[in-house]
Amino acid sequence: MADDTPRPGRGPAPDHGPGPQEEHEGSVRPAPREAHGGSDARERAAGSGQGSGSGQGAAPGGAADGRDGNDAAKVPELRASRREGSGRRRRNLPVPVTATPIQPAGPETTHHWDARAESVSEIESELARIWGLAAREASLEGMTPSAEADAYGDPRFAPRIDQSRDIRVRARTSVLTLVVVATRPETLERTLDVIAELAGRHPSRAIILAPGDPDGPPALDARISLECMVRPASVAETCAERILMMASGETAQHLAGLATPLLIHDLPVVLWWADDPPLGSRQLRELTETCDQLLIDSGAFRDDGATRLAALAVLVSGGQVAVHDVGWMRLTLWRELLGGLFDHPLLLPELPSLRSVRLNVLRPGATLRLSKAALFAGWLASALDLDVAHPLEPKRNSESLVGVWTDGHREIRVEFRPVPSVGQVASVANGSLQRVELELGRGRRQIRARVSRNADHLLATADWDGAEVARRAGRLEPFDEGPYVAESLNKLGHDRIFEESVARAARLVSGHAS
């Protein structure tokens, strides 16, 4: 899994040459965040070529979080100018920033306590017991019996003495409760690594639910740990709790009943379903009723992803829980590069003249996974205020899927074209974008804007009647789940851009949902 190796920011990337063979699909490692701001998209996508200059020109956008715009980065916008007499509003839709990489802070002093339990009530008792041990160790370590007696008699310590006469110096430093569902052993191992990576920077009570054989005898094996860390540059101690609950039989059928009694009152609750999320199921619905935010990965959707997208759109439209998607975050560099092309003063006014969109999607097998391409198309449709006139359907005498958007006056053709995995890095996943191309222009004017992938490089170019007028480049890096989970924990709340994109994506692929 991920390590804490420093990841420096990126400058302009060349638009040629093969990339590292361990590159994963559609991922982008963002540059480190400054102390009081978001990571700058300009460090990840550099502009060059005629007309585009430094890539400046579009107004900066807000944050992806629709509530408060915290940690907003100044990134390219994709805007459709208002057409005279059309009566349609202009949309200003910024590209959201990506996840922040987790940077190491040097060696830490760590104290660790463990316990086991077989019921929720035992878990609560064991948590109280190990917190008592931790507090007593911290407060009385190295004290002589006489000094200990004097401490208990000191009125300054009175507020810190509990019923068991432990002086509570160590305090819970949790900022949230993280509930994780890992339905497979390999997923459990992966999530435990991420939780350990996040512990010092996002102190939380992590409740990991690992359901086992549903037909076996009802059982619960809970492993509880408390870890307190002191960084070299700080005198403050950070403590994090981890509760791993491996359940089977009837116990595994009621995950919400296991997690709910252990939630910390008045702290936000984030649910991370680390496998293909069973959207619309009773298990997920019951868990989301206790949570403020749901983190999923649309890249893990089963089959072609259309049914899951439809269920995701229903969940998002309800508004009860904020949804963040790792798969959506992985598309950020694609969106930044395409949006950045339209910083060019010649290109921005041409957005309302969009004629067609084509997305080349990697399909190494028989099934074409639609979720990533559909979310990208949904973002584009939302940015340009386009509605779905006809959902995707098979193109005659072709393997492509073709649909139609409309702006109320014209129809815009959208095509998903499957491409084989010949020459692709082995770890690039089914459904990854390979190329996005927009055709625009009024009358005989021909304008093309495209983003293409070559190994771990993305190149965005725009042509005006065959002459290149803008060029931007970016580089993908090996995928690491930790930074995206961290970004989701940093940005609690609704991502309105994502929500609008999901709604349009689901309508576009509605003909494939069962």
pLDDT digits (tens, 9 = 90+) for 200-247: 778 889 999 999 988 889 999 999 999 887 766 555 678 889 999 999
**Do residues 506 and 375 make contact, with C-beta atoms less than 8 angstroms apart?**
no
Instruction: Report the chain's C-alpha Rg in angstroms.
Output: 26
pLDDT reported for residue 248: 95
pLDDT band at 311 (very low <50, low <70, confident <90, very high): very high
Could you give the angle at the alpha carbon of 346 between the alpha carbons of 344 and 347, nearest 5°? Answer: 70
pLDDT in tens, 86-129: 444 444 334 443 444 444 444 466 788 999 999 999 999 999 99
Which residue has tokens 């990126």? 10
Share above pLDDT 90 across residues of the chain, in percent, rounded to a whole number = 55
| Closest among 435, 430, 427 to 478, alpha carbons compared | 427
Rounded distance between C-alpha atoms, residue 339 and residue 171, angstroms: 46
| Helix intervals (H) in 15-144 | 120-140
Mean pLDDT of 191-196: 94
Please state the pTM of the whole predicted model: 0.77
Share above pLDDT 70 across residues of the chain, in percent, rounded to a whole number = 69
pLDDT reported for residue 110: 76
Which residue has tokens 């949570």? 291
Rounded distance between C-alpha atoms, residue 500 and residue 428, angstroms: 27
Which residues partner with 224 through β-bridges? 115, 243
Burial of 318 (0-12, 13-18, 19+ CB in 10 A): exposed
pLDDT in tens, 146-183: 545 554 444 444 444 444 444 444 555 678 999 999 99
